[in-house]
Amino acid sequence: MAAAKPVYNKILLKLSGEALAGENGFGIDPEIITTIAAEIYDVVKLGVQLSVVIGGGNIFRGLAASSAGMDRASADYMGMLATVMNSLALQDALESAGVKTRVQSAIEMREIAEPYIRRKAVRHLEKGRVVIFAAGTGNPYFTTDTAASLRAMEIGADVILKATKVDGVYDADPAKVPTAVKFDSLSYLDVLKNGLQVMDATATSLCMDNDLPIIVFNLTQAGNIFKVVTGESIGTIVKGES
Ligand code: GTP
């Protein structure tokens, strides 16, 4: 492990809000967030520039609320606020683990976070700080996956690491179909044409147009962030040609 070298210099880690909830399925599990912070610490120690986008589904689901009758824009803004809570929680866990962290919010709330300023974010990363991008893109109708793609592009990330609860992308839901087959590699078009569960179409298209690879991997297995960053081929990579 001591000799491990990163194969990516600048990464954007996309965490779902649910990843923080653990078994509870709701809220923030302190043990889980501490574990994630420790894994991020190991990667930052390699000298990798690491930024994070977190969803908010463990606190509030905009889409679900809007399908239950709530105005979509209002529901999405509430979802964005949920991502701010998750970002502050991760900042706290990271700083307890000894990782310097800055939170930048797409919606200005200067009392609790820096506003999103691209050049400042890039500078923070150069100084070895983890930057957490909160409040999605700041716009309703855009998912946090799209925020992850956008921010990754803006800061010039080499790759998006999309953390999930399964080992990668399968041709069917592995929880329901025991014969489901995992893909090692996929093209953006495969994902879009077959409606595969990687990221939504807006986020995937943005990555395709800018040739930014996405690696879907299982966050629930200890050490996986480190493995992906040091080039172990786990999960599924989505790129130009499969
Ligand atoms: P350098 O100037 O590169 O050293 O970056 P820095 O982030 O250490 O300096 P800065 O003086 O900008 O920030 C010091 C602290 O204040 C950091 O923890 C920032 O996250 C925080 N900070 C900076 N701007 C804001 C803001 O607008 N709102 C809030 N809430 N915190 C801020």
Which atom of ligand 1 sits closest to the CA of residue 123?
Answer: 3
Which tokens sit at 44? 């930052």
Which tokens sit at 134? 């909160």
What is the residue-wise DSSP string for 42-85? HHHTTT-EEEEEE--TTT--HHHHHHTTS-HHHHHHHHHHHHHH
Query: Does position 187 have pLDDT exceeding 60, yes or no?
Result: yes
Name residue 191's amino acid.
Answer: V
Ligand 1 pocket member 117 (CB < 6 A): no
- pLDDT tens digits for 16-72? 999 999 887 899 999 999 999 999 999 999 999 999 999 999 999 888 888 899 999
Structure-model confidence comparison of residues 175 and 230, the more confident one: 230
Q: Which residues pair with 180 in a beta bridge?
A: none
CATH architecture of 10-239: 3-Layer(aba) Sandwich (3.40)
Which atom of ligand 1 sits closest to the CA of residue 127?
Answer: 3
